[in-house]
Amino acid sequence: MLKIGEFSSLSQISIKALHIYDERGLLRPEHVDKFTGYRYYTMKQLPRAHRIMALKGLGLSLDQIGVIINQAMNIDELRGMFRLKQSELEQRVREEQERLAMVEFHLRMIEVEDNMPDLNVIVKEIPSFAALYLRFRPVEHQIPTLGEEINELIASGEIAHTGQWMGGVYGEKVNPDDYEFAFIVPVTEDQSGDVELSTGDTLALTQMPPALAATIVVNAHGEAELFEKQVLLKRWAIDNGYELCNEYRAIHHKGPMHHVPQSEFVTELQIVIENRS
């Protein structure tokens, strides 16, 4: 027999909570001394205690836990519930991180009003080039998943890659109905045709049209910094009499596919523009 303090230590459930679970019929002591009222538990009760706490950690009420635990739910079912809750919490964390990043972005934009950075912008004509092209409205994890497969195809020689890696963005994330992403993989004349991906998507062999672009090269240490530079570049273009064409490209001269630390990334940002009529 274990004293309630010992059982509390082994189960990591407070003595107060154990009293409540006893009152609610969730976890009754194996024995209660009729003279002292002391509660005693056994080692065999630990799995039930851990089940209660696992379900409580998933956000269930004690009434819900009582119904579930008396159905003798097995560990696989419990783990399935945990995985679902884990996904929900991870999504909530991502959303909060994105929200905080946007707050930081807006604060930075307030600061630059008094001290606009020198971006060293170059306006240049981008000639037409051959590329494997896939444009889509992305869902969670789709971009990195497809990117990994494209990198594997490049490494295997199935894509006649020129050495540059380019991503295209159309619209703005803040307007999700108008936002799309494109993989733009410049290829050599050895590329024979389209490339099918395991997802059923197709990288279509395309001749990218020429474009006028405002460009900067940055050593951004993260997505937040890259996003900030992109917005500042768009502002520079408007301030200097250009019209935005709702297309943005990022060329990774040195990036994740080159297997170097993030501190060494070199990215060229291109905002497609046109002269105001």
For each of the domains in the chain, give its residue range(s) and CATH number, in order of start: 2-73 (1.10.1660.10), 122-275 (3.20.80.10)
Per DSSP, helices labelled H in the chain are: 4-11, 15-23, 46-57, 62-69, 75-112, 142-156, 223-239
> How far is it, in rounded angstroms, from Cα 246 to Cα 90?
32
CA–CA dist 41, 30 (Å, integer): 5
Given a cut of 50, the residues of the chain with pLDDT beneath it are: none
pLDDT of residue 31: 94
pLDDT for 223: 77
* pLDDT given for residue 105 in this prediction: 81
pLDDT at 261: 64
For residue 75, the model assigns a pLDDT of: 75
Q: pLDDT at position 24, please?
A: 93
Phi and psi at residue 37, to the nearest 5°:
80, 5
User: What's this model's pTM, rounded to 2 decimal places?
Assistant: 0.67
Main-chain phi, psi angles of 119, to 5 degrees: -90, -10
**What is the predicted pLDDT for the residue at 257?**
60
Q: What is the pLDDT of residue 12?
A: 92
Q: What is the pLDDT of residue 144?
A: 87
pLDDT of amino acid 262: 63
